[in-house]
Structure 1
Amino acid sequence: MLDLLIAGGGPAGLATAIHAARAGLDVAVAEPRPTPVDKACGEGLMPGAVRALAELGITPPGHPLRGIRYLDSGDDTRHAVAGFRHGPGRGVRRTDLHAALARRAAELGVPVHPVKIDAATVRQDADSVTAAGLTARYLAAADGLHSPVRRRLGLDLPDPRPPRYGLRRHFAVAPWTDHVEVHWSARAEAYVTPLGPELLGVAILTGERAPFDAQLAGFPSLAGRLPGHASSAVRGAGPLRQRVRGRVAGRVLLVGDAAGYVDALTGEGVSLALAGAAQLVRCVRDDRPLDYERAWRRASRRHRLLTDTLVRLRAHPRLARLIVPTAVRLPALFTGLVNGLA
């Protein structure tokens, strides 16, 4: 019998597997898709994520990131800059990150079974969990934003707020900055992330359903630097906010986006997945699964508070217009908040 079976071989699932293997646990991953798998994301790793990956023996290729820059799309001469104080972040293609995690898991001997865990067939008793013909003491559900396992366990909560969505596309353009640029408009944000010598990722977060090009037109200065340079198809994700009743149901524990998601606004998805993976493995190793809920809340508290506050401000147009001017007027506060998260 395995110590830990992981449903999902994305970054969160593989990070959990790597932590488990390093802790001496007998672990396996169930993932039917070949590696790497692409998805819509901002692709900017904060310094904390870069350090956490390095501790796991992973240094993915990418572009150094020196900080965050907020810009007003109506007047991009008005901007606020916060440099990272404790080392650089890194702009990394999602596929490169996934491949690097998969290589490290393989080096540690983690088996990846090409099967999909059907949430309806997950069975657990006082001592074990069985799914897809595999039995383990615990199951980690790392099956994504709209986790079927989470839904099957009745851990989803309704969200009364208007949904937000993400769209991402790449452009074959030399980066003009070594910061992640966040362009704010009345109804959306555009995130520009340097990924390589001739590659940028542009992710747009918005509450409005419209094609990528229509959304990009809301940022005329940015759009003017990108015409004719698209190098990938558009990928989308959402609704982004996922409210979750709890992260533990018997011997099943949720990790990564499956554990609940506020918004991509602060770019901490990978950092939180890595932190959650480490806490989950610690609780499994100690055979104290109920401790995981408290550990996850503690690890994510600062992110949830700040991100939820920004999303609530964004929902009110008059308040949203104050975000960049406030960051400009209070640079020490802006830098402190960025580094507190980073």
Structure 2
Amino acid sequence: MSRDHDLIVVGGGPAGLATALHAARAGLDAVVAEPRRAPVDKACGEGLMPGAVRALAALGLEAPGHPIRGIRYVQGHREVHAAFRHGPGLGVRRTDLHDLLHRAVLAAGVPVLPLRVGEVRQDTAGVSLPDAGLRGRWLVAADGLHSPIRRSLGLGLGSRGRPRYGLRRHYAVSPRSSYVEVHCGPQGEAYVTPLGPRLVGVALLTDRRASFDAQLERFPELAARLPAERAVSAVRGAGPLRQKTRTRLHGRVLLVGDAAGYVDALTGEGVSLALIGAEALVGNVLRGTPDRYDGDWKRATRRHRLLTSVLLQARQQRTLAPLVVPAAERLPRVFAAVVNALA
């Protein structure tokens, strides 16, 4: 068995890597267990809101990508847009973001070990991972939307309503603007994120199970701009998206990122919340107040969770869904306030 680490981070996605980087820069001994080779790709809208850009800047990191000036909602012939008031967001490939964080963690002296974590054993002094040969004072579960650690600890809660799923593919076409387009259809949303001068990411969110092409056909105006021969990546999927968690602290295990709980990708704040959660987690470990982490996480994400839940409920009501964009069009200041509250 190796020496005790301060933090064992299970999962090398943005949440886990940001946690390890915060820990290293605070003088903590951290190690990351991640069996997949970097950079890791996954289904993701790939739009960083201004809050995520600021969080990366606070870590001294600048991601490559395409500036995002705001959000545009589209429904048939109706459009409404809102600009970000406090700096731009960024459209960035998930692999580029992962590579940036991975290199920063290695440069900070944190080992990233190609280990798959199995059994987790806790005692009053720390956590042991017998299969991986690791022991630490704290274990951070950053192992994703369907966190095996969360499941093994019985921290998951059932979710009501129809499950939602996400699909993503890239197209070699020019963005129409520097805004993220959100196309609202009768059974879901299509997000178009500018990633470069000749590249966009298209993410489809829906409660219907079907192929990417079949889902895209439900947005005929958008599909006409995305010929199949311009597709430059394979389809990746994720879901069910909503994941409820009983608590983010269980003994000496702390949950962060998607493992800590997830409402929906509707407002594109997953990476922002992962970075915020990572900072809060490390701060509480440093202060010796891990019991406050769950409350800090809830306070930091309350606005996002509330607004996302309200928007999601409206979008999933067949009678209300067609009214969302017309209402935003009639109340542009309210729409801009919501966009910037989330950004």
Fold in common (TM above 0.5): yes
Q: Count residues with an aligned counterpart.
A: 337
1:263 aligns with 2:264: yes
Equivalent residue for 1:153? Answer: 153
Equivalent residue for 2:81? Answer: 81
1:121-156: CA deviations, max 9, x gaps?
Answer: 101111111112111110000000000000000001
Equivalent residue for 1:327? Answer: 328
Equivalent residue for 1:313? Answer: 314
Tell me how far apart the structure 1 counterparts of residues 113 and 319 of structure 2 sit (CA, whole Å): 51
Shift of 1:50: 0.3
SS at match of 2:267: coil
Tell me how far apart the structure 1 counterparts of residues 54 and 63 of structure 2 sit (CA, whole Å): 11
Shift of 1:12: 0.6
SS at match of 1:150: helix
1:23-74: CA deviations, max 9, x gaps?
Answer: 11110100111100100010000001001001111111100000000000x3
Equivalent residue for 2:173? Answer: 173
Aligned residue identity for 2:223: A
Tell me how far apart the structure 2 counterparts of residues 79 and 160 of structure 1 sit (CA, whole Å): 31
Tell me how far apart the structure 1 counterparts of residues 244 and 38 of structure 2 sit (CA, whole Å): 29
SS at match of 1:317: coil
Tell me how far apart the structure 2 counterparts of residues 169 and 112 of structure 1 sit (CA, whole Å): 28
Hey, which bits of structure 1, 4+ residues long, moved more than 2 A? none
Asked if 2 retains the 8 angstrom alpha-carbon contact of 1:57 and 1:104, the reply is no
Equivalent residue for 2:38? Answer: 35
Asked if 2 retains the 8 angstrom alpha-carbon contact of 1:141 and 1:255, the reply is yes
1:108 aligns with 2:108: yes
Q: TM-score, normalized by length of structure 2?
A: 0.97
Shift of 1:20: 0.5
Aligned residue identity for 2:278: A
Aligned residue identity for 1:124: Q
Correspondences of 1:120-139 after superposition (within 5 Å): 121-131=119-129, 132-139=132-139
Tell me how far apart the structure 1 counterparts of residues 183 and 152 of structure 2 sit (CA, whole Å): 38
1:294-340: CA deviations, max 9, x gaps?
Answer: 00000100000000111111121110111100111101011111111
Equivalent residue for 2:182? Answer: 182
Shift of 1:287: 2.1
Equivalent residue for 1:283? Answer: 284
Tell me how far apart the structure 1 counterparts of residues 60 and 163 of structure 2 sit (CA, whole Å): 37
Q: Percent identity?
A: 65
Structure 1: which 5+ residue stretches go unaligned?
none
Moved more, 283-292 or 35-44: 283-292
Cα RMSD of the aligned pairs, angstroms, is: 0.7
Shift of 1:112: 0.8
Tell me how far apart the structure 2 counterparts of residues 173 and 50 of structure 1 sit (CA, whole Å): 25
Shift of 1:175: 1.0
Equivalent residue for 1:3? Answer: 6
1:60 aligns with 2:63: yes
